[in-house]
Amino acid sequence: MTYRAFKPASLLVLVALTVSPASAGTPPVGAASCSGCHRPDGSGTVPDLGNLTTDEIVAAVAAYRKGERPATVMDRLAKGFTDEEIRAIAAWLTQGPSAKP
């Protein structure tokens, strides 16, 4: 049996357009991976990045990279990103919960 009418998606479009006006956009390079460990409500062991400012995140990652801040994994990961990438990620992470994956 073939149905051409099965289009629940069009309803969803309506809902989406009314409820969320802005698109989340594509996250900057590398940003999607952060939420693998950092969860929005914090977990005690792994800090909640949403509580930090862009500058605080940038400074922390820079210190990790130079080995000036005690770390378990962040010193290893920080070396994989440029200053510009870190700033873009930090800005994106602190722009409000609705924009994060």
**In Å, what is the CA distance from 7 to each residue of 10, 12, 13?**
6, 9, 10
- Asked whether the CA dihedral 23, 49, 34, 57 is positive or negative, the reply is positive
The long-range contacts involving 65-72, CB below 8 angstroms and separated by at least 24 positions, are none
Rounded to whole angstroms, how far apart are CA atoms 5 and 53? 48
Our finding on whether 96 is near another protein (CB under 8 A) is: no
The token pair that represents 78 in the structure block: 């920080």
Among 52, 58, 59, 81, binds another protein (CB under 8 A): 81
Quote the least distance from Cβ 29 to another protein, whole Å: 5
Residues 27-46 close enough to bind another protein by CB under 8 A: 27, 29-30, 32-39, 43-46
Strands in 5-100 per DSSP E: none
Quote the least distance from Cβ 15 to another protein, whole Å: 6
Our finding on whether 10 is near another protein (CB under 8 A) is: yes
Quote the least distance from Cβ 17 to another protein, whole Å: 7
The contact set with another protein (CB under 8 A) reads 1-17, 20, 23-24, 26-27, 29-30, 32-39, 43-46, 72-73, 76-81, 85, 101
